[in-house]
């Protein structure tokens, strides 16, 4: 999936169950380029962006 911040496509799925996130229904992604951590939630049939960690400043 494309990064919503920088558009990079090298995002990776994070397995962060141990951190208390429920990532089964809405997988958490991390951008390999800017460090943004996000997931896309479906609410009322609409995709909603949920930013978990802002992009790292360079
Ligand atoms: Zn990015």
The residue ranges of every structural domain in the chain are 11-53
Give the least confident one: 5-9, 14-18, 52-56: 14-18
Q: What angle do CA 48, 55, 41 make, to 5 degrees?
A: 15
Q: Looking at residue 30, what is its pLDDT?
A: 92
Q: How far is the CA of 44 from the centre of ligand 1 (A)?
A: 26
With a CB cutoff of 8 Å and minimum separation 6, the contacts of 50 are 26, 38, 39, 40, 41
Torsion angles phi and psi, residue 57, rounded to 5: -80, 145
Q: How far is the CA of 37 from the centre of ligand 1 (A)?
A: 9
Q: What is the pTM of this model?
A: 0.73
Q: How far is the CA of 42 from the centre of ligand 1 (A)?
A: 21
Summarised one tens digit per residue, pLDDT across range 29-47 is: 999 999 999 988 888 999 9
């Amino acid at each position: 999936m494309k990064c919503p911040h920088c558009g990079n496509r090298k995002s990776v799925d994070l397995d962060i169950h141990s951190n208390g996130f429920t990532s089964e229904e809405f997988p958490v992604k991390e951008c390999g380029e800017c460090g943004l951590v996000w997931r896309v939630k479906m609410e009322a049939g609409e995709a909603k962006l949920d930013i978990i960690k802002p992009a790292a400043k360079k």
